[in-house]
Structures are given as C-alpha cells and as structure tokens.
Amino acid sequence: MHINSTANKDDIVNMYKLLAATGKMIKVSELDIGLGDNIKTANATAAMYQQQADMYKFVIEKYFEIIPKAQQYGITIWSPLDSPDRENSFWRRGEPIGIWTESFVRKPAYQAVAEALQKQK
C-alpha cells in the first residue's frame, strides 16, 4: 500500500470494505505514505508531516474498524526510515515516507502509528 498523504480517504474505506467482503485474510503490506506528488524531504513542512501522520493513523484505524477480527492478518510498514536521496536509493528516492527520519528521529507519523495500534489493545 504505497500511497501519499493526499490519498482519497473514501477510496481507502471502500477498498477495505471490498476486501472484507471476500471473507479472506487481509494484510496491508508495504505501507508507506509520502507527502504528495514527489515531495522531497528538503521541501517538507511541519504541516505536511502532520498530514502524513494523520494518514498513517487513518489507514491503521480503518483497517481495524472495517476488517473483521477473524480476517485481520496484519500491517507491515515498508520502510520505517525516510528514503535517502542518493543514487543507489531505489524506492521513492529522497522522499520522507517513513515514520523515522534517515537519522532515526521519530516523526509525527511514529506517534500516530503508536496511537492507532494502542487502541487495539
């Protein structure tokens, strides 16, 4: 699930509903959330990071809300760190997609993910 913070939330809800209707096990794999269309780390603002955090929280909360417990197979975050802006970076080069910065500083998205998971206890 490679999306941006500007993804349509109604589409995400509808996707979960369609998946739940299959009766099969549902896993969100490779979840990463960029800040928009090719927004690079150098151009990121605090408001963009908050929007990213809100989207991480939304995706996780809606998963647990819509997917029946018996069908929940888990959520995997693709890249916990932001993607480096260097030649050998193969995935979303230079984009702040993770829940930590490249230097392992927690972003607002880290707290949002933790809060969304904490609700599931």
Sequence ranges of the domains in the chain: 2-118
Please determine, for residue 90, whether its predicted confidence score (pLDDT) is greater than 80: no
Question: Which of 74, 76, 77 is closest to 26 using CA atoms?
Answer: 74
What is the DSSP code string of 20-52?
A: HHT-S-EEEEEEEEESSSS--GGG--HHHHHHH
Question: What value does the mean pLDDT take over residues 91-120?
Answer: 92
- DSSP state, residue 88: T
* 8 Å CB contact between 44 and 96: yes
Burial class of residue 36 (count of CB atoms within 10 Å of its CB; 0-12, 13-18, 19+): middle
Q: Per the CATH hierarchy, to which homologous superfamily does domain 2-118 belong?
A: Glycosidases (3.20.20.80)
pLDDT tens, position by position, 16-44: 999 999 999 999 999 999 998 889 999 99
